[in-house]
Copies of this chain bind each other. A is one copy, B any other.
Amino acid sequence: MNNIFENLPADLAREHFQDLLNTPSVRIERIVSKGHSSPEVGWYDQNEDEWVMVLQGEGTLTFADGRVVRLQSGDFIHIPAHCRHKVSHTRPDGITVWLAIFFNAAIQGPAGRAEQAADE
């Protein structure tokens, strides 16, 4: 797959998760929902940071601190590690496609611009 809107699952009885990239430092995932939401009880409490964008459809996130954030196409949000949240709603009448990037924000990488300068 090299297009995020291709090979959408026909069976969406459950939410569908697929890795688009999986490296030791970063994981990029496609999530396809249709009327799914997190269980009534409990929160996602992740060791990794997550940066998520809705590419199609619409979803609502609820945070343990009371914030409710509705995301539509192009909307994105950064969810720091251990920021407790859940998906409280996704559209029941069409699919919602999410792009989610999981990473550890605190790790200082040897690569990047600083390294590039040091090489010169």
- What residues of chain A have their CB less than 8 Å away from a CB belonging to chain B? 2-6, 20-21, 23-28, 47-49, 51, 53, 55, 72-78, 81, 99, 101-112, 115-116, 119
Q: Quick check: A103 and B104 within 8 Å, CB to CB?
A: no
Q: How many copies of this chain sit in the oligomeric assembly?
A: 2
Q: Quick check: B28 and A51 within 8 Å, CB to CB?
A: yes
Question: In angstroms, how far is the closest chain B Cβ from the Cβ of A107?
Answer: 4
Query: In the bound complex, how far is the Cα of B75 from the Cα of A78, in angstroms?
Result: 23
Q: Quick check: A25 and B108 within 8 Å, CB to CB?
A: yes
Query: In the bound complex, how far is the Cα of B81 from the Cα of A99, in angstroms?
Result: 22
Q: Quick check: B111 and A48 within 8 Å, CB to CB?
A: yes
Q: Quick check: B76 and A2 within 8 Å, CB to CB?
A: yes
Q: Quick check: A102 and B112 within 8 Å, CB to CB?
A: yes
A21-B51, A49-B23, A51-B28 known; A6 vs B107 contact (CB < 8 Å) = no
